[in-house]
Amino acid sequence: MEELKRIIEEKGKVLSDQVLKTDTFLNHAIDPALMDAIGRDFAGHFRDAGITKVVTIESGGIAPALATAMHLGVPMVFVKKAHPVTMNHPLTAMVHSFTKNRDYELCMESGLIEAGDNVLFIDDFLANGDAFKGILTLLDQAQAHLAGAGICIGKSWQRGRKTIQDQGIPLYVLAPIRSMSEEGIVWDEN
């Protein structure tokens, strides 16, 4: 998605060859027009997949997932990173966060995604695929089907892309990065 790439080049900050800071437009402060365009793009790509729900993980994926759900006309569910006392029958999965370099428990109230739902996973970043594996575990527990994964920014050199592709899940990355450094970002055109 050329618009997202342009904004990443203008406003993103490469902190290292592994970390890209996008907090002024994607996952802290939100650019509503950009989110609308992202949601439209994901919805267009997965329009014929029979999606019944969109799922993401708090908090970076919420804005693009909500925009996607709105364009698809389906509900969105976000998975929590901590078990609130109000959750009576949680589905859970342990995952490791690349950005925060720690493990945490994903949880979702059972029944929010139902057996037979055809689900689209949307997230802000794809690094090693641990968030994806956690979502897959939760959807297996719910007896739902993962129909696709839409990622705003993918780091092509890390194992996440292969993890998703090895599961046979359709993957669509809006801004795939081959490498990044102080000199800038090299886009992955494959």
Q: pLDDT by residue (tens digit) across 155-187?
A: 999 999 999 999 999 999 999 999 999 899 999
Which run of H or of E encompasses 143?
none
Least Cα distance to 125 among 37, 29, 19 occurs for 19
The mean pLDDT value of the chain amounts to: 94
Give all domains of the chain, ordered by start, each with its CATH number: 2-187 (3.40.50.2020)
pTM for the whole thing? Answer: 0.94
How large is the average pLDDT for residues 91-103?
A: 83
Predicted pLDDT of residue 189: 85
Q: How confident is the model at residue 59 (pLDDT cuts 50, 70, 90)?
A: confident
Q: What are phi and psi of 172, to 5 degrees?
A: -130, 115
